[in-house]
Amino acid sequence: MKVLMLGWEFPPRIAGGLAVACYGLVKGLVHHGVEVVFVMPLRKGDEPAQGYRLLGANEIEVPLGSVPKESWVRTVTWYGLETWLGPYLEQIATSPLEFRTVWPEEVEAPPGSLRLEFSGRYGPDLLDEVYRYAYVVSHLAERETFDLIHAHDWLTYLGGIALKEKTGKPLVVHVHATEYDRSGEGANPLIYEIERRGMEEADAVVAVSWYTRSIVVEKYGIPSEKVWAVHNAVLPKDRVPVEKPPSSRKVVTFLGRVTRQKGPEYFVEAAARVAPYVPEAHFVMAGTGDLLRPMIHRVAQLRLGSRFSFTGFLPPAEVEKLFDLSDVYVMPSVSEPFGISALEALRAGIPVIVSRQSGVAEVLPHALKVDFWDVEGLADLLYGVLRYRGIRPFFQRHAQEELAQLQWERSSARIVELYKTLLA
Amino acid sequence: MRRICLYFQVHQPFRLRVYRFFDIGVSHDYYHDLNNRALLERIARKSYLPMNALLQRLVEKWGPERFSVSFAISGVALEQMEWYAPQVLESFQALYATGAVELVAETYAHSLACLKSRREFERQVRLHLQKLKKLFDAEPRTFRNTELVFYDEVAQWVSQLGFSAMLAEGADTLLGWRSPNFLYESAAASIRLLLRNYKLSDDIAFRFSNRDWPEWPLTAEKFARWIQDLPADQPLVNLFMDYETFGEHQWAESGIFAFFEAWVNRMLESGEAVFVTPRAVLQALEPQAALSVPAPLSWADSERDLTAWLGNELQTDAFESLYALEEAVSGIQDPAIQRDWLRLQTSDHFYYMCTKFFSDGDVHKYFNPFSSPYEAYVTYMNVLSDFTQRVKEAAPRRVMTSD
């Protein structure tokens, strides 16, 4: 069985949970004897590749004159990006972005072939790259042999649809996040449309939790019988956590994109309630996003500047160090399809408080849970973790047991089962 | 003639309100009055009042010689009846006045004090006896410990308090090959033991309305036959259960009331059985054997141990932190501190921190105001932090060891 997998992120370039999940899943599939070719936008050559093949869209030669004229993609017009893609931008847009028209009209079509450029990032030209990626991978129809197409998140759905149209092979789309999670009711209609289209065209949809499955069914109108819930997992610990240096300081950590979806404002408000009662508490907000500045302003307004650290985006090695220093990890997401970082915090042995509006809550019966909007409930749990002795040992014992159950081999076995159903 | 001993437990805790850490030192108001009142009123309407009326009818029909029952009503439940539902208390008093009821003593706060302090345990038993004397003019001779917690040492204490009988769980670990359907005595103390027949008791208390149970539906005829079919030499059947079984754990719609009434009538019409109190059992029967149990047994869950209350770190920490205050509290006269000291000992608070979700969790969720054991723990510890401060302030010269 051979699967052509399309994904936007792969280690070592990690922007969020997507890369980690794709990596774990690929390894799990290989474990079950599935042949995997993973196509990412930009391959640099430093990615780990053992037992599977990696391919970058930047390495694939395409004949430029062959752009399909009828592609529905082309009918879309671009709007100002700063309003649309806020959750994805790596930098906060400081100046209004220009209006541009959609590729491929812009590209001249010289004879011969060409390799297109990809940044592989979530920059202001993200949509442009998404279209380019779809166009490039559609050429794999003739060059690669495979039994199935498996596309991760909307960024690669268009490529998946194109490949399915050309080859007639079954298409699986894997929903790690939806526009509904990222933006709530203020969803970007174009991204929503790409997502809906991908889910409709797909022969099966994989959702990373029951929570996300219900969003796929209810918000995207996808028939529930073709939507599978397969939880993410976590790779075994590959390093020993460093013993926390003796310190009376207690570190409370938020880690993730500082965007509406992740609920940073609830973290700040809960911190404001805890801070006067736990003088030794220090709060870290790691990550960046369009709400970072408002959060810094709010913290200043609350006169909590000396109690807060804003680290900006942290690479994986720094994340591990942060976990080593942390006493509790908080994930107050408004809508979190899964929340793999909570598992990583757990793996580092830290108590986690997750919102009930998260997929990870489904697989961690012993995690501390709170509704994202319940600032006082969150504050109370934080206080309890920092001040009362019972939680930490209890939590660590049970959470480690639960964590041990969350293996990629298991999740991948479900995916293999799905593949077999589609190929039967 | 077979003797059937019916014993009902009536207990409601003072459940805590949502008490945040920023309430510590600010508010000493710990209880969810509205919720406690609403729950008591609901349970009274659905269970206590209709069941009391039913028992009253049966007593009038058969007379106390043939139909008597026993109750333990915890001190904290009696307090709540006095506050919130005096008509319920009056209803129990009226039932007691028929002479067909034996009241059984327990710890006032329905606590697990015996595990920590003999002094506190005995103090609470005396408080409960005083309460029963005052409200019912009763002088109990039978004792039951919270959740039927029983072991040799506690049997000694209870015996020395002057009780002649004690109720306990007919656990396999205690009985071995023996049947619970005899009167026993403690090997460690001069006290008789009535052991719960857990199979027949739980057929009513837990399984009555369970449609997955092969014996469903349980009819009066069937249940009477099971008892009639017991070996003829077994003189006693002890059916012990929560009183809320009738109308609350098993809803009226399940037919539980009609079942109970029909079953009692059927047993008595047969002329082969009478319903008696523990006191009457002691007068009629001699103990079959002496039993010994060194470690605590309870009637809870499949393990019949204390893990539902003290099985995890949350519970242990809360329990230890609470009892670290005993010495200091004992020297304080303040009635508000004494009141809270009792109410915070009620075993339900620790039950809510239980994390055995997957085996017996359903029962533990009953009337549980918290959505997770962490919430239960954090709320309790917040309250305990405030209480600790009050105790420190009231006893300034004492050295405190607890946080």
Query: Strand B184-186's sheet: what is its strand order?
Result: B142-144, B165-169, B192-196, B184-186, B290-291
pLDDT score for A89: 38
Instruction: Using the 3D structure, point to which of B234, B261, B291 is the last residue of a domain.
Output: B291
Q: CA B317, B318, B321, B323 torsion: positive or negative?
A: negative
Residue range B119-140: mean pLDDT, rounded: 98
CB of B318 less than 8 A from some CB of A: yes
On whether both B286 and B378 belong to a single domain, the answer is: no
- Tell me which residues of B are annotated as active site: 147
Q: Which residues of A touch B22 (CB under 8 A)?
A: 273, 277, 379
DSSP B171-214: -HHHHTTS-SSS-EEESSSS-EEEEE-HHHHHHHHTTTT-TTST
Q: What is the pLDDT along chain A (424 residues), one digit of tens a residue?
A: 999 999 999 988 877 789 999 999 999 999 999 999 999 999 998 888 889 999 999 999 877 554 443 343 333 333 323 333 334 433 333 322 232 323 344 444 455 667 777 887 777 778 888 888 888 898 899 999 999 999 999 999 999 999 999 999 999 999 999 999 988 777 888 889 899 999 999 999 999 999 999 999 999 999 999 999 999 998 877 666 667 666 788 999 999 999 999 999 999 999 999 999 999 999 999 999 999 999 999 999 999 999 999 999 888 889 989 998 999 999 999 999 999 889 989 888 889 999 999 999 999 888 899 999 999 999 999 999 999 998 888 887 887 888 888 999 999 999 999 999 999 9
- The CATH number given to whatever domain includes residue B12 is 3.20.110.20
Mutate to test the interface with B, among A354, A370, A389, A405 (most CBs of B within 10 A): A389
In 3D, which of A213, A208, A209, A212 has the Cα closest to residue A223? A213
Q: Scanning the structure block, which residue is given the tokens 């077999």?
A: A420
In this structure, what token pair is assigned to residue A127?
A: 């949509």
In this structure, what token pair is assigned to residue B100?
A: 């067909």
CB of A374 less than 8 A from some CB of B: no
Q: Given an 8 Å threshold on Cβ–Cβ distance, is A368 in contact with B374?
A: yes
What number of other Cβ atoms are within 10 A of residue A67's Cβ?
A: 18
On whether both B218 and B262 belong to a single domain, the answer is: yes
pLDDT score for B397: 59
Q: Scanning the structure block, which residue is given the tokens 């929503």?
A: A192
**Distance (Å, rounded) from C-alpha A140 to C-alpha A166?**
10
Residue B296 lies in a domain: no
In 3D, which of A320, A297, A321, A319 has the Cα closest to residue A308? A297
What is the span of the domain harbouring residue B388? 308-394
pLDDT score for A112: 62
Residues B318-352: tens digit of each pLDDT: 999 999 999 999 999 999 999 999 999 999 999 99
Q: Given an 8 Å threshold on Cβ–Cβ distance, is A379 in contact with B20?
A: yes
Residue B156 lies in a domain: yes
**Distance (Å, rounded) from C-alpha A164 to C-alpha A149?**
7
DSSP A90-151: SS---SPPPP-PPTTTTS---SSEEEPP---S--TTHHHHHHHHHHHHTTHHHH---SEEEE
Q: Scanning the structure block, which residue is given the tokens 């990373």?
A: A208
On whether both B90 and B149 belong to a single domain, the answer is: yes
**CB-closest option in B21, B24, B314 to A394:** B314
On whether both B226 and B121 belong to a single domain, the answer is: yes
pLDDT more than 90, % of chain B: 84
pLDDT score for A99: 27
pLDDT score for B359: 39
Residues B356-382: tens digit of each pLDDT: 653 344 544 567 788 888 889 999 999
Residues B152-181: tens digit of each pLDDT: 999 999 999 999 999 999 988 888 899 999
Instruction: Using the 3D structure, point to which of B291, B318, B337 is the last residue of a domain.
Output: B291
On whether both B184 and B287 belong to a single domain, the answer is: yes
On whether both B338 and B384 belong to a single domain, the answer is: yes
Contact predicate B279/B173, CB 8 Å: no
Mutate to test the interface with B, among A328, A352, A394, A397 (most CBs of B within 10 A): A394
CB of B201 less than 8 A from some CB of A: no
DSSP A278-310: -TTEEEEEEB--TTHHHHHHHHHHTT-GGGEEE
Q: Scanning the structure block, which residue is given the tokens 């869209």?
A: A57
In this structure, what token pair is assigned to residue B403?
A: 């946080």
CB of A394 less than 8 A from some CB of B: yes
Q: Given an 8 Å threshold on Cβ–Cβ distance, is A379 in contact with B21?
A: yes
Q: How many CA atoms lie within 13 A of B221 on its CB side?
A: 1
Residue A250, min C-alpha distance to chain B (Å): 17
Q: Give the least confident one: A398-407, B206-215, B378-387.
A: A398-407
Residue B300 lies in a domain: no
Residues B226-271: tens digit of each pLDDT: 999 999 999 999 999 999 999 999 999 999 999 999 999 999 999 9
**CB-closest option in B24, B318, B372 to A369:** B372
On whether both B177 and B41 belong to a single domain, the answer is: yes
Residue range B109-129: mean pLDDT, rounded: 97
pLDDT score for B401: 55
Q: Scanning the structure block, which residue is given the tokens 């805790």?
A: B13
In this structure, what token pair is assigned to residue B226?
A: 């099971």
* Predicted complex ipTM: 0.75
Between positions 242 and 281 of A, the ones with CB within 8 A of B are 273-274, 277
Residue B301 lies in a domain: no
On whether both B131 and B86 belong to a single domain, the answer is: yes
Instruction: Using the 3D structure, point to which of B291, B318, B334 is the last residue of a domain.
Output: B291
Count Cβ neighbours within 10 Å for each residue of A306-333 and write b for 16 or more, e otherwise: ebbebeebbeeeebbebbbbbbbbbbbb
**Closest chain B residue by Cα to residue A395:** B313
**Distance (Å, rounded) from C-alpha A323 to C-alpha A268?**
19
**Distance (Å, rounded) from C-alpha B184 to C-alpha B281?**
11
CB of B42 less than 8 A from some CB of A: no
- For chain B, how many structural domains are there in total? 2
**Distance (Å, rounded) from C-alpha A82 to C-alpha A97?**
7
CB of A390 less than 8 A from some CB of B: yes
Q: Considering only the top CATH level, what class is A2-233+408-423?
A: alpha beta
Residue B317, min C-alpha distance to chain A (Å): 6
**Distance (Å, rounded) from C-alpha A224 to C-alpha A230?**
14
Q: Given an 8 Å threshold on Cβ–Cβ distance, is A377 in contact with B318?
A: no
In 3D, which of B287, B271, B62 has the Cα closest to residue B187? B287
Residue B271 lies in a domain: yes
**Distance (Å, rounded) from C-alpha A403 to C-alpha A235?**
10
Helix (H) or strand (E) holding A227: strand A227-229
**Closest chain A residue by Cα to residue B357:** A365
On whether both B205 and B163 belong to a single domain, the answer is: yes
Cα-trace Rg, chain B: 21
Q: Residue A223: is it exposed, middle or buried by C-beta count within 10 angstroms (0-12/13-18/19+)?
A: exposed
Q: Given an 8 Å threshold on Cβ–Cβ distance, is A394 in contact with B357?
A: no
B66: Cα separation from own chain's centroid: 25
pLDDT score for B221: 96
Residue B193 lies in a domain: yes
**Distance (Å, rounded) from C-alpha A168 to C-alpha A141?**
10
**Distance (Å, rounded) from C-alpha A75 to C-alpha A157?**
17
On whether both B205 and B254 belong to a single domain, the answer is: yes
Q: Residue B333: is it exposed, middle or buried by C-beta count within 10 angstroms (0-12/13-18/19+)?
A: exposed
CB of B314 less than 8 A from some CB of A: yes
The size of the A-B interface in CB pairs under 8 A is 65
Count Cβ neighbours within 10 Å for each residue of A90-106 and write b for 16 or more, e otherwise: eeeeeeebeebeebbee
Residue B124 lies in a domain: yes
Three-class SS of residue A353? strand
Q: Given an 8 Å threshold on Cβ–Cβ distance, is B21 in contact with A366?
A: no
**Distance (Å, rounded) from C-alpha B244 to C-alpha B315?**
25
Helix (H) or strand (E) holding B363: helix B361-364
B205 contact partners, CB below 8 Å, separation of at least 6? B241, B242, B245, B249, B250
What number of other Cβ atoms are within 10 A of residue B37's Cβ?
A: 14
Residue B314, min C-alpha distance to chain A (Å): 4
What are the Cα distances from residue A249, in Å, to A244, A287, A379, A386, B236? Answer: 11, 21, 17, 10, 63
Q: Given an 8 Å threshold on Cβ–Cβ distance, is A390 in contact with B317?
A: yes
**Closest chain B residue by Cα to residue A381:** B378
In this structure, what token pair is assigned to residue A283?
A: 């709060």
Residue B74 lies in a domain: yes
On whether both B281 and B336 belong to a single domain, the answer is: no
Q: CA B170, B175, B179, B181 torsion: positive or negative?
A: negative
A279: Cα separation from own chain's centroid: 34
Q: Sketch the domain layout of chain A as residue ranges.
A: 2-233+408-423, 250-405
In this structure, what token pair is assigned to residue A403?
A: 């964590």
CB of B316 less than 8 A from some CB of A: yes
Provide the residue type at B309 as one letter: W
Three-class SS of residue B321? helix
Provide the residue type at B229 as one letter: D
B230 contact partners, CB below 8 Å, separation of at least 6? B2, B181, B237
Contact predicate A129/A100, CB 8 Å: no
Contact predicate B316/B359, CB 8 Å: no
Three-class SS of residue B216? coil
**Distance (Å, rounded) from C-alpha A305 to C-alpha A285?**
12
Count Cβ neighbours within 10 Å for each residue of B340-356 and write b for 16 or more, e otherwise: bbbbbbbbbbbbbbbbb
Pairing of strands B184-186, B273-276: unpaired
Superfamily of domain A250-405: Glycogen Phosphorylase B; (3.40.50.2000)
CB of A226 less than 8 A from some CB of B: no
Same fold across A2-233+408-423 and A250-405: yes
Residues A371-381: tens digit of each pLDDT: 999 999 999 99
On whether both B358 and B210 belong to a single domain, the answer is: no
